[in-house]
């Protein structure tokens, strides 16, 4: 059986004070979560502080970064390396989030290199994949998702997915309140698992595939009930401790 994972993607939100309050809120309710792995992904500048709080308080709550540089060191102004992220106590790194792809023009190839950089430094990549509304309407969802996954397989090989997570996040569902129906999500999750299984069945069986896109406390349970949905990557609803814990409970 795959253990569920629920990860909060805080994006570009929070202040020192609000983040402290959020972490304390999560810590006060975490003992009710029995088997689900819980992680939070703060902005880079708060990783150190959040890492300290998570290490010193009730848990377990893991930490991830929202991105990682494909480079390890050198003249790359503004980048943050996997070594640094690992040193702050992160276990995960999100790569290829649709906002990175669409707003910052990050390609499948760059995303695959970031995936490789995360692994090189002992971080579990959470590879985000998903189609835009236009691509869904053109009926090319599977083609798009396959291309995004194949870029990683081409660079790193299928074994790389032994230590990775995939998050299916239809772009049209992110931050819009338009959640994919459980059936729509399950269909793509099954496709993703099948794609991995075509290369290696045991890797596919063990792979956590998360759904992301307007997951809330009141729709999480029906999504997580689907056989190939192993948890969620949560944006907006991860910024309130109570709601995020409700989602973790649904995964439990």
CA distances, 160 to each of 7, 120, 122, 133, 204 (Å) = 20, 11, 12, 29, 11
| 106 has catalytic annotation | no
Helix (H, G, I), strand (E, B) or coil at 72: coil
Q: Angle at which helices 182-197 and 141-156 pack, to 10 degrees?
A: 30
Considering only residues 160-199, where is the footprint of ligand PGA by CB under 6 A?
A: 169, 174-175
Residue (171 or 203) nearer to ligand PGA, CB = 171
Instruction: Count Cβ atoms within 10 A of the Cβ of residue 206 and give its class: 0-12 exposed, 13-18 middle, 19 or more buried.
Output: middle
Residue (11 or 20) nearer to ligand PGA, CB = 11
Residue (91 or 158) nearer to ligand PGA, CB = 91
Closest CA to 88 of 123, 117, 47: 47
Which positions from 222 to 251 touch ligand PGA by CB under 6 A, shown as an x/- string? -----------xxxxx--------------
Q: Round to whole Å and give the CA distance between 124 and 122.
A: 7
Question: In this chain, which stretch among 19-27, 137-145, 157-165, 212-220 interacts with ligand PGA, using CB under 6 A?
Answer: 212-220
The residues that bridge with 65 in the sheet, in sequence order, are 93
- Of 90, 204, 215, 245, the residue at the interface with ligand PGA (CB under 6 A) is 215
Residue (7 or 54) nearer to ligand PGA, CB = 7
Taking the complex as a whole, the smallest distance from the CB of residue 22 to ligand PGA amounts, in Å, to 15
Residues forming contacts to ligand PGA in the complex (CB under 6 A) are 9, 169, 174-175, 212-215, 233-237
């Amino acid at each position: 059986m795959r253990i569920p994972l629920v990860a909060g993607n805080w994006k570009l939100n929070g202040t020192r004070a609000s983040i402290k309050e959020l972490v304390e809120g999560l810590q006060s309710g975490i003992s009710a979560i029995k088997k689900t792995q819980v992680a939070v992904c703060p902005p880079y500048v708060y990783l150190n502080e959040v890492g300290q709080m998570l290490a010193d308080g009730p848990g377990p709550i893991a930490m991830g970064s929202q991105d990682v540089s494909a480079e390890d060191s050198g003249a790359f102004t503004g980048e943050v390396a996997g070594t640094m992220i690992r040193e702050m106590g992160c276990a995960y790194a999100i790569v290829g989030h649709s906002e990175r792809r669409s707003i910052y023009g990050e390609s499948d190839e760059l995303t695959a290199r970031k995936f490789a950089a995360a692994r090189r430094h002992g971080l579990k990549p959470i590879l985000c994949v998903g189609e835009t509304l236009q691509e869904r309407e053109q009926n090319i969802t599977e083609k798009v998702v396959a291309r995004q996954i194949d870029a990683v397989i081409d660079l790193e090989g299928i074994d790389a997915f032994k230590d990775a997570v995939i998050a299916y996040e239809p772009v049209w569902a992110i931050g819009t309140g338009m959640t994919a129906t459980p059936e729509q999500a399950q269909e793509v999750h099954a496709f993703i698992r099948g794609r991995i299984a075509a290369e290696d069945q045991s890797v596919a069986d063990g792979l956590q595939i998360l759904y992301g896109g307007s997951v809330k406390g009141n729709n999480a349970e029906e999504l997580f009930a689907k056989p190939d949905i192993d948890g969620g990557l949560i944006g907006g609803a991860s910024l309130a401790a109570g709601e995020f814990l409700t989602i973790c409970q649904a995964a439990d």
